[in-house]
Chain A
Amino acid sequence: MTLHSSRPDARTDLLHGTLDMLILQTLQWGPQHGYAIGRTIRAQSSDVLQVEAGSLYPALQRLAKRGWVTSKWGQTEANQRAKFYRLTPEGKKQLLREESRWTELVNAISRIMKPGVMPATEE
């Protein structure tokens, strides 16, 4: 279930993977800059998930390295210079894969935590 990595930090892949999935999900609706991504995740999770810059930016770089997002400097509506991240077609496919994996995981955990109750499927 973990992503394959030649790096020794494979232990944290589950968490990384989840954050990566959240970022990809956020970018689904169009290009956004780093700060906005963090703000969106926080807002949509009703302030439960606070993504720190220290996790967000390395995650963005990881996604860029894998070719799932691309980045480009641009202007915000407030006329601020910012780097915008955009989902690539490859990234879209990855998002679908992550979603199904996530659903599977949630279902499995739910079955353990609340035996007998069928979990609600996402969306």
Chain B
Amino acid sequence: MSIRSWLKRRRLDDQDFDEEVRAHLAIAADERVADGEDRQSARLASLKDFGNVALTTESVRRVWTPWWLAALHDQMSDVRYAIRALAKNPVFSLTVVGVLTLGIALNAAVFTMLKGLALSPIAGVERSAALAVIFGETSSGRQLPISYPAYQYIRDHDRAFSGLMGSSVASLGLGRGRSARPIWGELVTGNYFEILGVRAERGRTLLPSDEIAPGRHPVVVLSDGLWRRNYGADPDIVGKSIEINNYPLTVVGVADATFHGTTVVYDVEVYVPVMMAPDLGFKFGSQHTTPSEILSDPRATLFYPQGYLRPGTTIANAAAQADALGAQLSRERPLTDALQSLKVVPFWRTPGGAPMILLPTLMVLSAMGLLVLLIACANIAGLVLVRGMSRRGEIAVRLALGATRTRIVRLLIVENLVLALPGAILGVLLAQQGIPLLVGYAEGLSAPNRIFFNIGVDRLVLAFAALVACGSALVFGLVPALQSTQVDLVSVINADASPRGAARGRLRTGLVIAQVAVSLVLLVGAGLVTRSLEAARRTYPGFDRDHVTALALDVKQNGYDERSGRVFYRHLLDAARADRGIESASLALYNPLAFLETRTQRMAIEGYEPRRGEDLAFMSNIVSSDYFRTLRINLVAGREFEDRDDESAAPVAVVNQTLAQRFWGSAPNAIGKRIRAAEGDWRTVIGVAADVKYVRIDEAPRPYFYVPLLQSYRSNLILSTRGEAPVDRLVEQARARIAALDPDLPIVHAGTLAESTRGALMLFQLMATMLFLFGAAGMALAAIGTYGLVSYIVKQSTHEIGIRLALGATSRSVVLAFLARGARLGAIGAAIGVAAALGLTRLLGSALFGVSATDVLSFARALAIVLGIVIVATLVPAWRAARTDPLSALRHQ
């Protein structure tokens, strides 16, 4: 029975019973009147006979009250009492609520991110974490997307999935002319929306009938965000035509407002049938694949097919089936690429996906968050314990009056919950305010591309916060509560308040030791990551990122084909180089250190016989002449690309030092040797460039090679110019150059090379910021807690101090005695903390760079801070106690 219907019934019953009472009184009075009494006194007498009407009504009502409600009613009186008791001690209550707020906020924030990445990664799709993903893997563990023909084969033959869809995220140009801008789009299969269960808010979604033949489905579904921002929520949007990559597509619908695409972190704004990929100028995979072939070429790897498994099918089952299917597939349609086997993984392990990249970091953060919460709990346990002391009198009286221990423990636990819940609520609010700040920071980094995190604070987060709050209330409340009830009635009532219960003392020293240990671990972690960040900042990445611009273009967004694109880029380079104050200018497919794991290609190397099953695959870049000069990458041997290395000349390449050394022994030896990428031509090595940090600052040296732009066209390139002028002016200058050549071409991104490398540091920075926050919070908590506990222990010993002083001890020796005690606790805690830190910092592994997990300086710093706090926490109250008059100290008790 719901509470509402119960309340309604209760009201009706009350009325009914009122009437019954009235009838009772009337009949009783009538009887008395019949016996000869006068009406007035008869009425009074019958009322008197009846007794307490309100009490009776209450008893009648209770008969109908469900037992759990009655229990709740008792609980409420506990809550009321608890609130009164806590309000009497506002400093204690506010401290606890504040400490818990901090602890819960940090954990809720980390949990929210965890939820957005792994538990519910796709907004607007229920059970999105249950999606499974298929990818190909070569013998060396290289992970590859699946080509469209392979996808079709798997989709039609697989029995493990209830449906398989595919989507490939891409940067698209929306509109034409000055208003054109780059947006994220997904090229999707016809069953995409159906499998995800995403509805159209307006019009229709894409359907299997939108995946019949290449080029025959010029339709598009918009995101709710795009529809509102760009088209003012136009109610007649369906049927209108919009231009994407200079190609007209008809809007058939607007996707549900909660849906932001399946590419975690990307805010996808349009969904286009994969059949339109050739017409939008897409080219995946092989150098030789023309756009018209991307749907038929098995080398044109397109996406990672995904879907829900059939009920009862496990990932392992699906993986076994996919493996068999992969073998069958390579028999029926031999692949030229080294696709060896098909793998199935849960969605969060999508190769190259944001969850895969960010989860290890988040796990470390979660661990740190829990440590902070642990400190907070130890902290509060200390406070509760201390407060329990001062309430011993009250509790003893209650026990003496016949309250059961259960009843008192219950009351104390309710009190702790009353403290914990505001902490949970405030913590969630704090997290809710804080997360957008972090996201805003990430958005700033990725602008103008839109990103989206599924980080709303929802029921899951609230439940988590409530759970954490109740859990911590139990942790910090139960042990002290049990202890408080173990009072010796006689001793308390005899007002001998000397609190020297051995168990209590042990608990208190235990809490101090635990706090010291845990905060040491946190501080060591924070110190290590901070030092990693310093090291990462100091490391020379192999190129000079100052005074260089980086403007990303994609000429297919304004309808250029390869021929016109080449001409455009030729003119752009000439114009940029002719500009005043420009030292050099170049074009490249990728920026170095852009935090982007780019495609690797299978390599053949002259003079090197690969071992059986060895899958040599390296990353590469396509660059124009002057690239190495512009980025100031040293050439160790040979020459860099020049304008004569064009289509009519012999194919050439530049390799990096690591590649040259690995296969030919030295850089000069490499000149004149030949390499071949995938199914391409053999290229002669004409130069060897110094190693560069290609993806992330902490990567190990890896083989890498460069191919001249004139021999390998791409529509999306980055223009870099170097000059003496302030780099912002250089960016404006380059932007003006592009606009002068084609005012209608959208500039995907305009910025500096230094900015484009920030992403590689972002994880470090985020990690360091969070860890610093956690470390600082843990530190503050531990400082308050340790200080509170230690100084309380000292204060309780005022009596002892008095005796010592009276017996002739100097105040100095008293202080030293207490200092020795404090130092002993600190030392034990520190020893445990160091041991734990040595074990735990190993887990930081990937987050560390340039420092070892056992970095002495980080440990020393953390030790100094923690011990310093313990010493101050002992010294101050001990000093104060030693200066009191021994007589008053003795009289104190």
Chain A interface residues toward B at CB < 8 A: 6-7, 33-36, 52-54, 57-58, 61-62, 65, 76, 78, 80-83
Instruction: Name B45-62 residues within 8 Å CB distance of A.
Output: 49-52, 55-56, 59-60, 62
The number of inter-chain residue pairs (CB within 8 angstroms) is 59
Q: B23 touching A61 by the CB < 8 A rule? A: no
CB distance from B630 to the nearest CB of A (A): 82
Q: Which 8 interchain pairs have the tightest Cβ spacing? A: A61-B63, A58-B59, A82-B23, A53-B50, A54-B56, A35-B24, A35-B27, A54-B51
Chain A residue at smallest Cβ distance from B26: A80
Chain A residue at smallest Cβ distance from B22: A81
Q: B23 touching A33 by the CB < 8 A rule? A: yes
Measured between beta carbons, the chain B residues less than 8 angstroms from A62 are 63
Can you spell out 27 A-B residue pairs with CB atoms less than 8 angstroms apart? A34-B20, A35-B27, A36-B27, A53-B24, A53-B49, A53-B51, A53-B56, A54-B51, A54-B55, A54-B56, A54-B59, A57-B17, A57-B21, A57-B60, A58-B59, A58-B60, A58-B63, A62-B63, A65-B63, A65-B64, A76-B27, A81-B19, A81-B23, A82-B23, A82-B27, A83-B16, A83-B20
Instruction: Name B21-44 residues within 8 Å CB distance of A.
Output: 21, 23-24, 26-28, 30
Q: B56 touching A58 by the CB < 8 A rule? A: yes
Partner of A80, one of B30, B52, B56, B67: B30
Q: How far is the CA of A62 from the CA of B17 in the complex (A)?
A: 14
Partner of B23, one of A52, A58, A65, A83: A83
Q: How far is the CA of A109 from the CA of B24 in the complex (A)?
A: 36
Chain B residue at smallest Cβ distance from A66: B63
Q: Mark B55-79, 1 if CB is under 8 A from A, else 0.
A: 1100110111001001000000000
Q: How far is the CA of A78 from the CA of B20 in the complex (A)?
A: 16
Measured between beta carbons, the chain A residues less than 8 angstroms from B28 are 35
Measured between beta carbons, the chain B residues less than 8 angstroms from A81 are 19, 23
Measured between beta carbons, the chain A residues less than 8 angstroms from B62 are 58
Measured between beta carbons, the chain B residues less than 8 angstroms from A36 are 27
Q: How far is the CA of A113 from the CA of B63 in the complex (A)?
A: 36
Q: B20 touching A57 by the CB < 8 A rule? A: yes
Chain B residue at smallest Cβ distance from A36: B27
Chain A residue at smallest Cβ distance from B13: A61
Q: How far is the CA of A110 from the CA of B59 in the complex (A)?
A: 34
Residue from A35, A36, A52, A83 whose CB has the most chain B CB atoms within 10 Å: A35
Q: How far is the CA of A36 from the CA of B20 in the complex (A)?
A: 13
Measured between beta carbons, the chain A residues less than 8 angstroms from B49 are 53
Chain B residue at smallest Cβ distance from A73: B19
Q: B67 touching A6 by the CB < 8 A rule? A: yes
Q: How far is the CA of A65 from the CA of B63 in the complex (A)?
A: 8
Given contacts A33-B23, A80-B23, A81-B23, 16 further A-B contacts (CB under 8 A): A7-B67, A53-B21, A53-B24, A53-B49, A54-B51, A57-B17, A57-B56, A58-B56, A61-B64, A76-B27, A78-B27, A80-B26, A81-B19, A82-B23, A82-B24, A82-B27
Q: Mark B613-646, 1 if CB is under 8 A from A, else 0.
A: 0000000000000000000000000000000000
CB distance from A69 to the nearest CB of B (A): 13
Residue from A53, A76, A83 whose CB has the most chain B CB atoms within 10 Å: A53
Q: How far is the CA of A35 from the CA of B23 in the complex (A)?
A: 9
Measured between beta carbons, the chain A residues less than 8 angstroms from B64 are 61, 65
Q: How far is the CA of A33 from the CA of B21 in the complex (A)?
A: 11
Measured between beta carbons, the chain B residues less than 8 angstroms from A82 are 20, 23-24, 27
Q: How far is the CA of A76 from the CA of B52 in the complex (A)?
A: 25
Q: How far is the CA of A33 from the CA of B24 in the complex (A)?
A: 8
CB distance from A61 to the nearest CB of B (A): 4
Measured between beta carbons, the chain B residues less than 8 angstroms from A53 are 21, 24, 49-51, 56
Q: A33 touching B60 by the CB < 8 A rule? A: no
Q: How far is the CA of A100 from the CA of B710 in the complex (A)?
A: 109
Instruction: Name B769-791 residues within 8 Å CB distance of A.
Output: none
Q: How far is the CA of A93 from the CA of B753 in the complex (A)?
A: 92
Q: How far is the CA of A36 from the CA of B24 in the complex (A)?
A: 9
Partner of B27, one of A52, A57, A61, A80: A80
CB distance from B7 to the nearest CB of A (A): 18
Partner of A54, one of B20, B52, B63, B67: B52
Q: How far is the CA of A65 from the CA of B62 in the complex (A)?
A: 11
CB distance from B712 to the nearest CB of A (A): 81
Measured between beta carbons, the chain A residues less than 8 angstroms from B55 are 54
CB distance from B790 to the nearest CB of A (A): 44
Measured between beta carbons, the chain B residues less than 8 angstroms from A80 are 23, 26-27, 30
Q: How far is the CA of A58 from the CA of B57 in the complex (A)?
A: 8
Measured between beta carbons, the chain A residues less than 8 angstroms from B24 are 33-35, 53, 82
Chain A residue at smallest Cβ distance from B67: A6
Measured between beta carbons, the chain A residues less than 8 angstroms from B16 are 83
Q: A61 touching B56 by the CB < 8 A rule? A: no
Measured between beta carbons, the chain B residues less than 8 angstroms from A54 are 51-52, 55-56, 59
Instruction: Name B1-27 residues within 8 Å CB distance of A.
Output: 16-17, 19-21, 23-24, 26-27
